[in-house]
Amino acid sequence: MFDARLRPLIDPPLNALAAPLAKTGVSATQITLAGFGLGAAACLAIACEVYWLGFLLICLNRLADGVDGAVARLTQKTDRGGYLDIVLDFFFYAGVPFAFALADPAGNALAAAALLFSFYANGSAFLAFAVMAEKRGLETTAQGRKSLYYLSGIAEGAETIALFLVMCTFPQGFVWLAWGFAMVCWLSAAARAISSAQALK
């Protein structure tokens, strides 16, 4: 919901960070893979209940996720890079709830499963429309220049990362936070499915 509104604020500093990296020859794909490594480390830290480290690594993961796109725009965007970016993002998004389930299986597993269910529904509505949009030649720059069509929704990246950071800050509230955000994601998935079906008539 807030991703498009944040773009004018976050793009200038990301571009400033990306420019020297692009000049040194660091590729967008290398940054994507490094960012995924940071995200995987965040999940491991959360599973081990080192939540402050998980918080820090999530922030670094998201920084890398922003910089890789900026580097790609300064050098050369590729389908391979866009594919890796979205796939590894989804792996990371799924990994964080799973890590909280590992940290406290008895207390967190059901809420984590509900959150993952809602992510699956929301992500499916998002990706399925991207496939149809590509088939029809539809484009949008609402989320910046991307490799695929970004269909807006109630629950997007900014809201999800904010949730993860709050969970790391207050891990004892994971269950309530997970159930609450799962409901938001189900609403987002329903809204995306309805708007997509209307757009594809």
Q: Are 96 and 165 in contact (CB under 8 A)?
A: no
Q: Could you give the maximum distance between any two Cα atoms of the chain, in Å?
A: 50
pLDDT at residue 119, as a whole number: 93
Q: How many CB atoms lie within 10 A of CB 50?
A: 16
> Please, which residues have CB within 8 angstroms of residue 30's CB and are 6 or more apart in sequence?
none
Give 111-144 pLDDT, tens digit per residue. Answer: 999 999 999 998 888 787 777 777 766 665 555 5
Neighbouring C-beta atoms of residue 44, cutoff 10 Å: 16
Q: What confidence tens digit (pLDDT) does each residue in 3-26 have?
A: 555 566 666 787 777 788 878 888
**CA atoms of 131 and 138, how far apart (whole Å):** 10
Domains assigned to the chain: 3-199 (1.20.120.1760)
Cβ-proximal residues to 59 (8 Å cutoff; 6+ apart), any chain: 165
Contact 164, 58 (CB under 8 A): yes
Rounded to the nearest 10°, the torsion over CA 98, 102, 104, 105 is 90
pLDDT confidence of residue 142: 53
> What radius of gyration, in Å, describes the C-alpha atoms of the chain?
17
